[in-house]
Chain A
């Protein structure tokens, strides 16, 4: 069984190798004439005002946190989904209870406005 994973490892190595080789080709064949104007960060013709690593909206962070909760939920659903065909009413109801708890949480965050963007 485990030898089926060997091609995957090779595939990843080859993927990285192709990317690396293409980058190296780009550096070898491309011209290289740097000057301060060309190398400055792009800002519609202005000189860059300040460092680009500025404060950003906290909502992006909120989305990331909500994503973790829901992604974990999906991870819990996967094994259940694979066996549901051979399982019975008990497994179905167990998952429905689990899902309804999460749906309550989802409704709560919706009502709290965590999903609003304006």
Chain B
């Protein structure tokens, strides 16, 4: 009986995390179309309204729901020469880890489903899994465009994963823990104590690698609409395509959440340590700060898509291997020295345990 209650509690928590996540993914697609639309002096989707009291004034607010229903009723084309089984399971393989990674994300102090002490390692494992979905999809499609997109994407993702891994090592050194709640706790103090300042190069590299890792513009050579049509998901249609889409956007939100947690103090208030403002904003729950910081990163994602032209493939590989990896290596040594000399205000406190 007790076990049953425990299991049901866990399932409820998972629903409480997943439903807002799915709604967030749906409305991120709307935000993307609206924001890029306004940046290009268009309006974006403005026809489908929600027939609800307050929301029916917001033009285009029903668009994601209409899109979801449209994709549900679309035909799923199974190409003749494809490997049927792999073709059908590939979207799920890229979707499941993008969802499962959210198990260890702390949304506010103590608001974490599974408070494991290898949280960051688990996140790294889950984000690395996403490349399998792409590989299997491209291989199973048995289409030339899909194979080209897959090869590009796989090489790009593994290259930027190294830079990302080194950036994470820097965070670990500064925080002294793999637990995401402890990493946020280590940034307590004021917004100058957050790791963005001592780890500034790693912060930039982490976010740019995150953009490359999720195959988003300006690193979207895996899709490259204008050269290889749609890359690895050229043969996908209907709901199978929708699952890839959901996985990509869930991964974007995940990268935004991780960047906020590791470099911008997660749920900590930005007014900490400032005399008048801190008590004024003390009533704001931590999750709002986290969501605010995540929104900044998500906006950066969309902004860079509207602003930058696509990188050439050799430029992407050069940036990853010849710029990011040397910088991260140097910065790990710099952090090591800073910890040795106990540089205040970040490294003067000895880690517990």
Q: Check A23/B239 contact, CB under 8 A, given A41-B143, A74-B169.
A: yes
Q: Check A67/B158 contact, CB under 8 A, given A15-B97, A26-B72, A99-B333.
A: yes
| B window 228-259: CB within 8 A of A | 229, 234-235, 238-240, 242-243
Q: When the two chains form their complex, are residues B11 and A23 in contact, meaning their CB atoms are under 8 A apart?
A: no
Taking Cβ atoms with an 8 Å cutoff, the residues of A that contact B are 4-8, 10-12, 14-16, 18-20, 22-23, 25-27, 29-34, 36, 38-44, 48, 51-54, 56-57, 59-60, 63-64, 66-67, 70-71, 74, 77-78, 81-86, 88-89, 92, 95-96, 99, 103, 106, 110, 115-118
Q: Check A51/B81 contact, CB under 8 A, given A56-B147, A117-B317, A117-B318.
A: yes
Taking Cβ atoms with an 8 Å cutoff, the residues of B that contact A are 7, 10-11, 13-14, 18, 71-82, 88, 91-93, 95-100, 102-104, 113-116, 121-122, 139, 141-147, 151, 154-155, 158-159, 161-162, 165-166, 168-170, 172-173, 176-178, 229, 234-235, 238-240, 242-243, 313-314, 317-318, 321-322, 325, 329, 332-333, 336, 339-340, 347, 350-351, 353
Given contacts A11-B99, A26-B240, A106-B325, 15 further A-B contacts (CB under 8 A): A5-B114, A12-B96, A14-B11, A14-B14, A15-B96, A15-B98, A16-B92, A18-B96, A22-B243, A23-B88, A39-B78, A85-B173, A88-B340, A96-B333, A103-B329
Instruction: Tell me, in angstroms, the Cα distance from A8 to B240 when the chains sit together.
Output: 25
Which residue from B100, B239, B336, B353 sits with its C-beta under 8 Å from A25?
A: B239
Instruction: Tell me, in angstroms, the Cα distance from A71 to B273 when the chains sit together.
Output: 39
Which residue from A33, A84, A103 sits with its C-beta under 8 Å from B75?
A: A33
Instruction: Tell me, in angstroms, the Cα distance from A116 to B18 when the chains sit together.
Output: 43
User: How far is the CB of B114 from the nearest CB of chain A, in Å?
Assistant: 4
Instruction: Tell me, in angstroms, the Cα distance from A32 to B115 when the chains sit together.
Output: 45
Which residue from A20, A42, A84, A117 sits with its C-beta under 8 Å from B336?
A: A84
Q: Could you list 9 A-B pairs, sorted by A, with CB under 8 Å?
A: A5-B116, A25-B72, A30-B76, A31-B74, A39-B78, A48-B144, A52-B142, A84-B176, A99-B333
Q: In the complex, which residues of chain A have a beta carbon less than 8 angstroms from the beta carbon of B116?
A: 4-5, 8
- Measured CB to CB, the nearest residue on chain A to B138 is A52
Instruction: Tell me, in angstroms, the Cα distance from A32 to B169 when the chains sit together.
Output: 50
Q: Check A82/B96 contact, CB under 8 A, given A19-B243, A64-B155, A96-B333.
A: no
**The 7 nearest A-B residue pairs measured at CB:** A26-B239, A19-B92, A117-B314, A15-B96, A15-B99, A85-B351, A81-B172
Q: In the complex, which residues of chain B have a beta carbon less than 8 angstroms from the beta carbon of A38?
A: 77
Q: When the two chains form their complex, are residues A81 and B173 in contact, meaning their CB atoms are under 8 A apart?
A: yes
Q: In the complex, which residues of chain A have a beta carbon less than 8 angstroms from the beta carbon of B178?
A: 78, 82
Instruction: Tell me, in angstroms, the Cα distance from A27 to B88 when the chains sit together.
Output: 10
Q: In the complex, which residues of chain A have a beta carbon less than 8 angstroms from the beta carbon of B82?
A: 41
Which residue from B14, B95, B139 sits with its C-beta under 8 Å from A19?
A: B95
Q: When the two chains form their complex, are residues B229 and A42 in contact, meaning their CB atoms are under 8 A apart?
A: yes
Q: When the two chains form their complex, are residues A40 and B155 in contact, meaning their CB atoms are under 8 A apart?
A: no
User: How far is the CB of A7 from the nearest CB of chain B, in Å?
Assistant: 4
Q: When the two chains form their complex, are residues A7 and B339 in contact, meaning their CB atoms are under 8 A apart?
A: no
Q: In the complex, which residues of chain B have a beta carbon less than 8 angstroms from the beta carbon of A33?
A: 75
Instruction: Tell me, in angstroms, the Cα distance from A15 to B72 when the chains sit together.
Output: 19
Which residue from B99, B242, B329 sits with its C-beta under 8 Å from A14?
A: B99
Instruction: Tell me, in angstroms, the Cα distance from A27 to B351 when the chains sit together.
Output: 54
Q: When the two chains form their complex, are residues A15 and B173 in contact, meaning their CB atoms are under 8 A apart?
A: no
Instruction: Tell me, in angstroms, the Cα distance from A92 to B176 when the chains sit together.
Output: 14
Q: When the two chains form their complex, are residues B80 and A85 in contact, meaning their CB atoms are under 8 A apart?
A: no
Instruction: Tell me, in angstroms, the Cα distance from A74 to B332 when the chains sit together.
Output: 11
- Measured CB to CB, the nearest residue on chain B to A26 is B239
Q: Check A31/B73 contact, CB under 8 A, given A5-B116, A7-B14, A52-B143.
A: yes
Q: When the two chains form their complex, are residues A7 and B239 in contact, meaning their CB atoms are under 8 A apart?
A: no
